Amino acid sequence: MEKYDIVIVGGGPAGMMAGLLFARAGLGVAVLEKHRDFLRDFRGDTVHPSTLDLFDELGLFDALLAEPHDKIEEIGAVVAGHDYRLADFTHLPGRGRFVALMPQWHFLDFVAHQARRYPGFDLRMETAGAALIAGEGGRIAGVRTAQGKELRARLVILADGRDSALRDAAGLPRTDLGVPIDVFWFRVPKERGAENRTAAYLSQGQMVVAIDRGDYFQCARVIRKGSAAEVRERGIATFRTDMAAAAPVIAPGIAAVRDWDDVKLLSVSLDRLTRWHRPGLLAIGDAAHAMSPVGGVGINLAIQDAVAAANILAAPMLRGEDPDALLAKVQARRMFPVKVIQAIQRAAHRNVLERALSGEIAHAPLLLRLFDRVALLRRIPARVLGLGVRREHIRSPVGG
């Protein structure tokens, strides 16, 4: 049996950021990550201005941006062949006036490297949390790993994603908000250009998001939920033809999508826990709220959760206080922004995605045309997407 102040299950953005901040405060932290490394394909690689500003507050802005990345300073949409500008990040406050497209394995390796500077940080790769350990009165007292080791802790934080089995085992109630879409995820090679050409393409009942990653486009084809088999039945050749027609920018490289092994289906979900905690345990990130890919905000909301948890819990735990009485404050702090962003995503599902897939959008909506024509208006979606709602700042102590 080993003892820590905090055991964090899950080495994704929320778990790693929480591990860094709690260890920086001087607490003993173990982060359990079931994979042997971070080198795998992730859906979310967008580091938004809110997250860049947090690393600036930690004095790590320049070090983070020394990692391989591309920049998006403006986001647009192409509707029926016409280009429209939607959001301009260059007027945001702070140094992070862009979205950094950074492979998530580089981001997580960077956070792990920074966290290892603190003696209380222990990252355990190839270590899955298999079961929760119940202590006196049913309070969660630790985690049992898949290898059978018991890690005891004053607090267990679940940051192990939307499919968290331990969250379900803890009996935390969850509400499913429903979502009408799934996504096919694929790469198309391209030549590196001087400008980033990330955009959403809507045309003839198709919607494709092409994220410019320098020498390739990371593409997301939005489909009706449950229609993946129907799309596959039409064959990969039809898939390529449809994608080239919907997003001509990817047409030169679409032949690289050779078969369905090159196309991954991402099942989209939108839900949230109605209670994020029980004695001895707290859920954050996707384990507390699964987000739609609309806006690419999931990683950044998860990191904001981690910052809020450290802001509220680190100092009292350093003083030896029981964290249980404070767990509801973390949920209260973060539930409002989660609800707001999920409401925006649901509105986008209804008013944009569903209409686009049914072929109802033949030309750009009035609001999009206004954003394109009035530069000042483009600062509004940039602020919502880039900084979010009730964004966090680093207030946890430094003691590690």
pLDDT tens across 66-122, in order?
999 989 999 999 998 889 999 999 999 999 999 999 988 899 999 999 999 999 999
| 2-71+97-176+269-354 belongs to CATH 3.40.1080.20 | no
- Are 188 and 313 a contacting pair, CB within 8 Å? no
- Are 95 and 390 a contacting pair, CB within 8 Å? no
**pLDDT of residue 43 exceeding 70:** no
Radius of gyration from C-alpha coordinates of the chain: 21
Amino acid identity for residue 116 in this structure: R
Res. 170 pLDDT band, cuts 50 70 90: very high
Helix (H, G, I), strand (E, B) or coil at 134: strand
Q: pLDDT (tens digit, 9 = 90+) per residue, 184-195?
A: 999 999 998 888
What is d(CA 251, CA 241) in angstroms, rounded to the nearest whole number? 8
Q: Give the lowest-confidence range in 173-182, 304-313, 328-337.
A: 173-182
Q: Which residue from 3, 1, 21, 19 is spatially nearest to 11, judged by alpha carbons?
A: 19
At 41 the pLDDT is 62
Res. 44 pLDDT band, cuts 50 70 90: low
Average pLDDT of the residues in 217-238:
95
What is d(CA 140, CA 96) in angstroms, rounded to the nearest whole number? 39
Specify the DSSP element, H or E, that contains 125: strand 121-125
Amino acid identity for residue 81 in this structure: G
Q: pLDDT (tens digit, 9 = 90+) per residue, 360-399?
A: 887 888 889 999 999 999 999 999 999 999 999 999 999 8
Using H for helix, E for strand and C for coil, what is the string for 211-258? EECCCEEEEEEEEECCCHHHHHHCCHHHHHHHHHHHCHHHHHHHHHCC
Q: Which residue from 153, 167, 154 is spatially nearest to 124, judged by alpha carbons?
A: 153
